[in-house]
Amino acid sequence: MDRTVDPGRTSPFHWNEEVRPGLRVAFTAVAAGNLALHVGDDPDAVRQSRRRLEAALGIRAESLRFMSQTHSDRVALLGASDRAGRVPPDADAMVSATGSEPLAVLVADCVPIVLADADPDDGGTGATAVVHAGRAGVANGIVVKAVGELRRRGAGTITAWIGPSVCGSCYEVPDAMMIELAREIPVAASRTPAGTAALDLPAAVRHQLAQGGVTVEELRGAASSCTQENTALFSHRREPGAGRLAGLVWRP
């Protein structure tokens, strides 16, 4: 089928690519179902959606690692002592030091970011990370902290993939809120088509990644990545409580 028509309605993925040999990055669409346990959905239905997703990713059931996200600036480090099925870390970024744990970040309008250091074959650590950055996360520097954690663990050439979120034209906020964030990050200031104050969170995230020396790879061939405009994506602003999409990084 023509994947430019409305891909998220039939495919579970908004975008899904092997970004380098043996490493994949994906962002889910509504067809993958709601993947969050905290939006009031039937927990069994959510677990079924997660199992279906893991099968689609080609990974073991219950091996996908989620976080308990609270708009904090905490970065969780997954290590050898961690096992799948354990309590999700209370964090808004999560690092797999070896890149061996499949990672998931859940969003519906906030910005999901996947990070990966170069492979060991190319002199890197192979570490991977996911980050949840909404307005609070952009302000508290969660992206910067996640990049810092990767650097501390020896990462050199870090690449980022920025997933679907509400865009700078749609994210209307009170003037004071825009001014406050723009004081720190001028590119965060935006306007709606009507001329009212807005925030451009993806632009702010790009700025923070560039400051950290991280290269952003574009999601080539993806449909509109604005969650509020593209109904194949979950949007809390358009439809509160409908669900969350996932940003994913894994080695099948």
Phi, psi of 209 (to 5 degrees): -65, -40
**Helix segments in 38-174, DSSP class H:** 43-57, 135-140, 142-152
Nearest to 225 by CA among 158, 141, 159, 169: 169
Give 190 or 228: the residue with its C-beta nearer to Zn ion: 228
Pairing between β-strand 245-250 and β-strand 23-28 as defined by DSSP bridges = antiparallel
Give 203 or 214: the residue with its C-beta nearer to Zn ion: 203
Structure tokens at 78: 């997954």
**Long-range pairs for 175-183 at CB < 8 Å and ≥24 separation?**
177/135, 180/139, 181/135, 181/138, 181/139
Give 29 or 146: the residue with its C-beta nearer to Zn ion: 29
Closest distance to Zn ion from the beta carbon of 81 (Å) = 42
Give 11 or 230: the residue with its C-beta nearer to Zn ion: 230
Which positions lie near Zn ion, rule CB under 5 A?
167, 170, 226, 228-229
Closest distance to Zn ion from the beta carbon of 173 (Å) = 14
Closest distance to Zn ion from the beta carbon of 166 (Å) = 6
Output DSSP code: residue 195. Answer: S
Closest distance to Zn ion from the beta carbon of 226 (Å) = 3
